[in-house]
Amino acid sequence: MTQLPSATRAIEFRNATLGATVAVLRETEPAGLADALHKMLGGMPDFFSGEATVLDFGTLEGSPERIDWAGLLSLLRRYQLQPVGVRNLPPDFAEGARRAGLALLDGAELRERQGAPAPAPVRAEPPPPPPAPAPAPISAGTMFVDRPLRSGQQVYARGGDLVVLAGVSNGAEIIADGSIHCYGPLRGRALAGAQGDTSARIVATNFGPELVSIAGVYRTFDKGIPEHLAGRAALVRLTGSANDYKLDLQPLHLD
């Protein structure tokens, strides 16, 4: 079980108003990125399910001598990502990106569509009165799934928790930016905290997954589920410090 500290990850994924996943690159060599992706995603080549992807080069560590566009795009497509454009790319590499079929999208996330009118200037107003006390924060939305998930199916609760009221078969995948609650047999792959929420948890009443992951820290069960957890209620969470998180698997006593 491993996790790369966020400050040293070679690649990081974020959401944007473009309607695409943004891959923030800190290096461009396919070999280094391949190793980072394997550690981050547990070697799952079908993690992203064909999502459109924008490559962001704004945090590159140093200026590369060249970019292997063919190798880079091939690697991302291996994980079912579909690169469509780039942003914050050094100008010297712009022509290579165009030849690779990528659009230059700097600033595109600031408008809904190409050619949308700029917002009207806002006139200065007098300072508002002191605000009333803020109410308690509202938690992110929760997605409920009340049908069994079969092999090959995937459900992603973007921005919130996921509650599965039926079973998750081998070969199925459930993903949430928040926590995962599974009230039927959990036999597939469960990935909580998909955008880096280290406080996320996985709760299952019948534990038997192929893989569990929280904020990129994962564990597989190729050698079987521990006897004290197999088929029982269990809780998965992270323990440790920011640079040394570990998955903690505990039985739940629901009686």
Q: What is the DSSP string of 75-118?
A: HHHHTTEEEEEEES--GGGHHHHHHTT-EE-TTGGGSSSTTPPP
At 128 the pLDDT is: 54
Residue ranges and CATH numbers for the domains of the chain are 6-110 (3.30.70.260), 142-251 (2.160.20.70)
List CB contacts of 220: < 8 A, sequence separation 6 or more: 42, 210, 211
From first to last of the 255 residues of the chain, give the pLDDT tens digit. Answer: 445 454 456 776 654 445 567 888 888 898 888 888 877 766 666 667 677 888 889 888 778 889 999 999 888 888 888 888 898 888 889 899 888 888 888 765 433 333 434 444 444 445 555 444 443 333 457 899 999 999 888 888 888 999 999 999 999 999 999 999 999 999 999 999 988 899 999 999 999 999 999 988 888 988 889 999 999 999 999 998 877 888 999 998 876
Neighbour-count burial of 203, counting CB atoms closer than 10 A to its CB (0-12 exposed, 13-18 middle, 19+ buried): buried
Identify any residues that bridge with 168 across adjacent strands, giving them in sequence order: 149, 186
Rounded-to-integer distance, Cα 251 and Cα 205, Å: 10
Q: What is the DSSP string of 197-236?
A: -TT--EEEEEE--SEEEETTEEEE-TT---TTTTTS-EEE
Tell the residue number behind the tokens 């990081």, with chain if given.
12
Strands 217-220 and 211-214: antiparallel
Residue of 141, 174, 180 whose CA lies nearest to 160: 141
The edge-to-edge listing of strands for the beta sheet with 142-145 is 142-145, 161-164, 180-186, 202-207, 234-239, 246-251
CB 154 within 8 A of CB 168: no
